[in-house]
Structure 1
Amino acid sequence: MVTVLDLKDRPRVRHPEKAHRPDQEVLRKPDWIRVKAPVSRGYQETREIVKSHKLVTVCEEAGCPNIGECWEKKHATFMILGEICTRACAFCNVATGIPTAVDPNEPESVAQAVAKMGLTHVVITSVDRDDLADGGAQHFADVIHAIRRLTPQTTIEILTPDFLRKEGALEIVVAARPDVFNHNLETVPSNYLTVRPGARYFHSIRLLQRVKELDPSIFTKSGIMVGLGEERHEILQLMDDLRTANVDFMTIGQYLQPSKKHHPVKKFVTPDEFASYATVGKSKGFLLVASSPLTRSSHHAGDDFAKLRAAREALLAKKA
């Protein structure tokens, strides 16, 4: 996964909402959640490409456990619009504060990195930019257009903010015609006040539904983390809400606490429970469900896109 900028010397601003009580127990990670440290040659090559193009990667910013695997295979998720977020979600390791100006050269820089890495499928995400009139929507569109010009064969997946109170923003992004539109719910609605206080659950559901209304050909996708204190019945209801919005693909992964200042892990969900969620999700009509402890929004995104297309084609053939 990839983002652009050298962050070593930049101060990281945190909001008090991310501070947790000192009496909260930090759970020990079970064996199934452990991964090897990234040391491969492929990882180093990807790291050099990211640095040479001065990109920011969500892989690094979010402390993703799959960075070694993804970068070894030269899979990348580019984070645009800077590295400082205007929100203060309790689960997120991205810095919160006053964002820097938008880099007008970023779309071309991202497109060049995509070409150099030879990506057949790329994921583009961003921080929340509530300070911008369109929430960064036009910048998303500019990045999509730049990639299409340089590597038209590359399929494009975007993972967007919610564009809350940004009228017309969604339409700008959809008009650029990404292949996959992803917006994560992150958690069940009962957790929003403590986990995702700046967002609104039903606004996010409506955002995903609106994408399908504007362009039914675009695959829609959403993901959640588990282990934040949610109940099973809440996850099943969330699945129903996503299917009501005609969402095609759902991802479910284990929440991992970035630091003691972040929301604590309430539970480590077992691999069998993840497998059960995948089975239930498929029965509810999703074209694809990725559910495992290490599942993340853009983990195996290229392979999953191929599966999505195959599943849609099989469904259409069945209806014919």
Structure 2
Amino acid sequence: MQQLTIVTPQPERPKRRLPKWLKRPLPSTEMAFTSNVIEDLNLETVCESAKCPNRTECWAQKTATFMILGNVCTRPCGFCSVPKGKTGEILIDEPERVAEAAARLGLKYVVITCVTRDDLPDGGAEHFYECVQAVRAKTGADVEVLTSDFRGNRAAISRVVEARPDVFNHNVESVPRLYSRVRRNAIYQRSLDLLKQVKDEAPDMPTKSGLMLGLGETFDEVLDVAADLRAVGCDMLTMGQYLQPSADQLPVERFVPPEEFDELGEQCRKLGFSMVASGPFVRSSYHAGEMAAEATS
């Protein structure tokens, strides 16, 4: 007679309650205009796909971060709520639709990011190039790209550099000790190498990177990453609180108090970044235009 094995389900880890500094009133203005533009042009935004806590504020101000190359990612990062799995075809009219959205919203500074497309030979670099060119041609706006690591494909990275974005952003996301849990299938040194290549090929092109805090990193580990970024010429740094998008993503290990963000920001500025944004609600593309303007002023 076959013996039955009884598996006792593990209790779910209780969700952490938000501290008072992560609670804020909703804007009184409407998001409908931005939402209608995105829906009408059938576009993806990281605001929605990554469940960004700043979406209400940004959309009320008629700004959004466009996410190209589809809405399915090929990497199983532990922090991200963007769907994973089988990717779809690249839509060749997407650059024109992104440009049209930027025009309708009246954007003077446009941030374009992407899902990671390891299934494509160039990781989607050519599509990035076309999106930057289309937005510039239609709006004349400044453009910031927030790219994947293209699996270290140097030719792909160079192609995006050739588009001459006003800022080249690539996030390291976390400290190297946590990569196997937070940023699976990514390599810390590969991200540093990408930022170095951009700076080597275009010394006058500002580079930028970002970290999420609250996943188990230490204060000193964050400073070590900041020093590594400066060593490859990274100009701008963002640091914000990680918030668990859903039960399927990694839990928050710690809510970092605003005072600690302030201290980290101060220490990182001493390393020579042209601009550091450090605070609970800071995200890589949050107020990106203002950050770029201040960094170059």
TM > 0.5 fold call? yes
Tell me which amino acid in the other structure corresponds to 1:249.
M
Aligned to 1:84: 72
- 1:31 is matched with 20
1:113 equivalent in structure 2? 101
Kept in 2: contact 1:36–1:68 (CA 8 A): no
- Cα deviation code 1:205-232 (max 9, x no counterpart): 1100110000011110000000000111
- Alpha-carbon distance between aligned partners in 2 of 1:81 and 1:278, rounded to the nearest angstrom: 33
Checking the alignment, whether the CA contact within 8 Å between 2:152 and 2:190 is kept in structure 1 is no
How far apart in 1 are the matches of 2:292 and 2:221?
27
Partner of 2:187: 200
Secondary structure of the structure 2 residue equivalent to 1:164? helix
| 1:18-62 deviations in Å (ceiling 9; x for gaps) | xxx745342211011123346622x11111111111111110111
Number of matched pairs: 288
Match of 1:234 in 2: 221
- The alignment partner of 1:191 has SS state of helix
Is 2:59 the counterpart of 1:59?
no
Among 175, 178, 183, the alignment partner of 1:191 is 178
Matched, 1:102 2:90: yes
Among 290, 301, 305, the residue aligned to 2:277: 290
- Deviation for aligned residue 1:261: 2.0
Conserved 8 A contact 1:50-1:113: yes
Which stretch of the first structure deviates more once superposed, 245-254 or 43-52? Answer: 43-52
Which amino acid letter does the alignment assign opposite residue 36 of structure 1? P
Q: CA deviation at 1:72?
A: 1.2
Distance (whole Å) between structure 1 residues aligned to residue 168 and residue 21 of structure 2: 30
1:266 maps to 253
Q: Say whether the 8 Å CA contact 1:134–1:167 is kept in structure 2.
A: no
Deviations 1:270-306 (A, max 9, x none): 0000000110011010000000000000101111111
The separation in 2 between residues aligned to 1:272 and 1:38, in whole angstroms, is 25
Identity %: 47
Matches within 5 A, 1:133-282: 133-152=121-140, 154-282=141-269
Q: Secondary structure at the match of 2:151?
A: coil
Of residues 71, 74, 79, the one that matches 2:59 is: 71
- Cα distance, 1:165 vs structure 2: 4.4
Decide which structure has the larger Cα Rg and report it: 2
Work out whether residues 90 and 262 of structure 1, in 8 Å CA contact, stay in contact via their aligned partners in 2: yes
Q: 2:115 aligns with which of 119, 122, 127?
A: 127
The amino acid of 1:250's aligned partner reads: L
TM score, norm. by length of structure 1: 0.88
- Give the SS at the match of 2:90: coil
| 1:40 correspondence with 2:29 | yes
**Matches of 2:144 and 2:25, distance apart in 1:** 27
Matched-pair contact (CA < 8 Å) for 2:168–2:206: yes
Check whether the contact 2:152–2:194 (CA below 8 A) recurs between aligned residues. no
- Partner SS, residue 79 of structure 1: strand
State the secondary structure of the residue aligned to 2:168: strand
Number of the residue aligned with 1:301:
288
Q: Deviations over 1:146-174 (max 9, x none)?
A: 1111112x000000001114341001000
CA distance in 2: counterparts of 1:53 and 1:150, whole angstroms: 15
What do you get for the CA RMSD once the two structures are aligned? Answer: 1.2
Q: 1:22 to 1:171 in 2, by over 3 A?
A: farther
